[in-house]
Amino acid sequence: MRRRLFAIIRKEFIHIFRDWRTLMIIILMPILMIVLYGYAITLDMRNIVFGVIDDARTTESRALIEAFSENGFFRPLHREIRRDDMEELFMRRDVHMVLVIPKTLSTDLITRRTATVQLIVDAGDSNVGTFVNNYAAQVLNIHNRRVNDTSPLLFTITPRIFYNPDMNSTHFFVPGLVALILMLISALLTSIAITREKETGTMEQILVSPVHAREIVLGKVLPYVFLGLINASLILISAWILFAVPVRGSLLLLGVLSLVYVFVALSFGLLISTVARTQLIAMFGTLMATILPTIMLSGFIFPIASMPDILQYFAQILPATYFLLIIRAIMLKGVGLAELWPEALILTGMGVLLLFAATRRFRMRLE
């Protein structure tokens, strides 16, 4: 078992290094892509969940909360939160914004005819941050006019933007690009690696040996995990150099979870190759199955929360959805495994499941 597996791995490495043109494409294409795509795209959103710390608890404060809740943009978190919980709620993405109403709201309104409320906005997604901020300003404007249409500026907003204080959109898109490029390249690598052998007839030759499906499948995945790791590092380094995207969390954790994600993508590519007969079909299928869903549905550009229900369910089965949460959280928020373990676990499970399915589907005969 181990000897046959190592033989296939060794052979695969020879293929990789002898074909230096393909190797250069594999290494340079991601860098090219990140340069080309590393620009912002605008977006729109709804259903922004916000929490409230209401220290006033007066008619006026309730009216203000109501003003936020009654339109389609904001949805209140239906429970009390404490100041100490706020950080954790942001980390877990339970809220995107917290509205802090001071004790003196009602008295200030009466005595000074103006009052200050605080908005704390999660800008881990910089675009989300911008939009939340703008929407909130509008809601307050409307509320001001309703409360007192002679004095349009009753409240003053002092926003404090967390995690991406410059509202730099590349900080938001670059992690997404890493997720997209890693998925695309990795899945392509394995789906082509097997269909190529089907096309050249070498698969027919090695099948007529005591080799097992699991040895072929594993032997194809493991060398490319190595290649995927090189890819991931190069992408992250170029993101750092070109766009100054920070990595606030653990670099090691980011590396390990990127590897898990690469493993998922490689296994997915293998599954495609068990269905596809030719390299062309495999390539086309992989492009269709990775690029579009990853761009449109994983939260890469459009927030999942504002999608129709059915697409939200679909987003749940995309590996990129989980990796995006992980990589943004680690790079921008500095979040650790303590918060990210559910996503890490789901990704690992997906990888194992896909690899198992690829092994089961792998045909040991020509029919």
Partner 1 sequence: MTPLISVDHFSKSYEEVRAVRDLTFEVNRGELFGLIGPDGAGKTTTMRTLVTLLRPDTGSVTVDGMDVRTRMKDIRAITGYMPQRFSLYPDLSVEQNIRFFADLFAVPREELPARMDRLYRFSRLEAFSRRLAGRLSGGMKQKLALSCTLIHDPVLLVLDEPTTGVDPVSRNEFWEILHELRAQGVTIVVSTPYMDEAMKCDRIVIMHDGASLAQGSPRDLVASMTVPMYALDDRDLVMNFSRIETVPGVRSVQSFGDSLHITSDGDILPERLQSAIGGALGRDVHLRPISPSLEDVFIALIEEGGVHVL
CB of 200 to partner 1, least distance (A): 7
What six digits make up the tokens of 122? 């999660």
What six digits make up the tokens of 243? 């766009």
The answer to whether the CB of 364 falls within 8 A of the CB of 213 is yes
Nearer to partner 1, 8 or 232 (CB): 8
The answer to whether the CB of 275 falls within 8 A of the CB of 241 is no
- φ/ψ of 243, rounded to 5, equals -120, 5
293 to 40, 297, 302: CA distances (angstroms): 19, 5, 11
Nearer to partner 1, 203 or 357 (CB): 203
CB of 22 to partner 1, least distance (A): 11
CB of 219 to partner 1, least distance (A): 10
Nearer to partner 1, 66 or 204 (CB): 204
Nearer to partner 1, 21 or 82 (CB): 21
CB of 364 to partner 1, least distance (A): 7
CB of 278 to partner 1, least distance (A): 15
* Alpha-helix runs per DSSP H in the chain: 2-18, 20-37, 59-69, 86-91, 105-111, 126-147, 169-200, 202-207, 213-243, 251-275, 279-297, 309-316, 319-328, 337-361
Nearer to partner 1, 202 or 316 (CB): 202
Q: What is the DSSP string of 8-29?
A: HHHHHHHHHHH-HHHHHHHHHH
- φ/ψ of 102, rounded to 5, equals -75, 155
Note the residues at the interface with partner 1 (CB under 8 A). 3-4, 6-7, 10-11, 14-15, 18-19, 200-202, 204-211, 364-367
DSSP code at position 334: -
CB of 91 to partner 1, least distance (A): 49
CB of 26 to partner 1, least distance (A): 16
φ/ψ region of 214 (left if φ > 0, alpha if ψ in -120 to 50, else beta) reads alpha
Nearer to partner 1, 19 or 66 (CB): 19
Nearer to partner 1, 42 or 209 (CB): 209
Cα–Cα distance measured from residue 330 to residue 256, given in angstroms and rounded to the nearest whole number: 12
